[in-house]
Amino acid sequence: THDQIGHHDSQVRMLQGLVKRKRDVVVAMEMFERSQQPVLDLWTEGKMTEEEFLKEVKWEFTWGMDYNLYKKILDEARTRRLKVLGLNIERELVRKVAEHGVTGLSPGESEKLPEMDLSDQEHRQYIASIFKSHQRGSAKDFEKFYQAQCLWDEAMAETLSRFVKSEEGREKTLLVIAGTGHMAFDFGIPKRLYRRTPLHYKTIVLKEWKKNIGEDFNRDGISSPPAHFLWITKPNPLEKKRPRIGVLLREKEDPKGIWIERVIPQSPAEKAGLLSGDQFLAVDGKEVTTVREIQDALAEKGWGKDVIITILREGLKGEITVILPP
């Protein structure tokens, strides 16, 4: 899970373990687009500062999660001069598919699509269960939502397949770091990679410990196990968690600003009345221009506090009070 510190610490341990066993490791990450590969190469070669790196990959725009969650992984790769492979397709193309479907793309955009298999009924059932949590946000049409999810999986599988077939990829061990939804039950990246390039692989699903954890894996109609290995981590220490209000933000360059792309159901944001399409202007009266500034402002405010979000909605400025979770 992307916001679990323990999960990312476990990923660092996996990387260190593979290196210790004399494996020639490549770290393949969902968090980066494949078009950013030249920047990733400069970073791991030690030719950029961290500040320059984050600016060049447009971290807050293309991924947006707290960079500190991933810092140990990237620092480990840089220290050992290991290649970091950007897996993802451009986010804007995925957004367009989610909004208009693959048939709604322009001819130029359609040419960028990988080969896509939309026929797996068990996968459809699995994604349908995820879709329920998106319906009040930006995802309204399941078929388009499903196509967008498959586009992510297929594009990352395509990137991996091309790499392992290349001269650079020969004899390499790939540590693929991606969200559970792209790995669980082999539906996402694993099956789609194997379809392109049959090779030996093992999957590991990381889960935070909680009561009745087994319920997360009891999926009716799904015959395969969730992964080859299940790695259980301790819950995040509260003091290390950053308060989250339950929105997916999108940073734009033209016009410049930050918009809410999706509001998570039952989240503090939804309860307060924030909507998909609202533009963030300020937090507690302080202007915000990047996702990082919003994250830092919420962290500074702390758990259980009220925070005033200034937004622009349909041309009208307003203030909404959000109660941060205790």
pLDDT given at position 113: 96
Taking the C-alpha atoms of residue 322 and residue 307, their distance in angstroms, rounded to an integer, is 5
Taking the C-alpha atoms of residue 320 and residue 281, their distance in angstroms, rounded to an integer, is 11
DSSP string of 238-269, one letter each residue: GGGSPP--SEEEEEEETTEEEEEEEE-TTSHH
Query: Rounded mean pLDDT of 53-67?
Result: 84
Confidence of residue 138 (pLDDT cuts 50, 70, 90): very low
pLDDT given at position 5: 78
Question: In this model, does residue 137 exceed pLDDT 50?
Answer: no
Question: In this model, does residue 188 exceed pLDDT 80?
Answer: yes
How far, in whole angstroms, is CA 52 from its chain's centroid? Answer: 22
pLDDT tens string 140-166: 588 998 999 999 999 999 999 999 999
pLDDT given at position 234: 82
Q: How many CA atoms lie within 13 A of 87 on its CB side?
A: 25
Beta-sheet pairing, 306-313 with 25-33: unpaired
Beta-sheet pairing, 25-33 with 83-88: parallel
The segment with the largest mean pLDDT, out of 2-6, 62-66, 92-96, is 92-96
Query: Rounded mean pLDDT of 5-34?
Result: 94
- Quick one: what percent of the chain has pLDDT higher than 70? 92
Q: What does pLDDT average to over the chain?
A: 87
pLDDT given at position 237: 63
Taking the C-alpha atoms of residue 290 and residue 87, their distance in angstroms, rounded to an integer, is 24
What domains are defined for the chain? 5-90+150-233 (3.40.50.11550), 247-323 (2.30.42.10)
pLDDT given at position 101: 93
**pTM over cut 0.85:** no
pLDDT tens string 108-127: 999 999 999 999 999 998 88
Query: Rounded mean pLDDT of 84-102?
Result: 92
Query: Rounded mean pLDDT of 285-298?
Result: 86
Classify the phi-psi angles of 273: left when phi > 0, otherwise alpha if psi is within -120 to 50, otherwise beta.
Answer: left
Question: In this model, does residue 71 exceed pLDDT 50?
Answer: yes
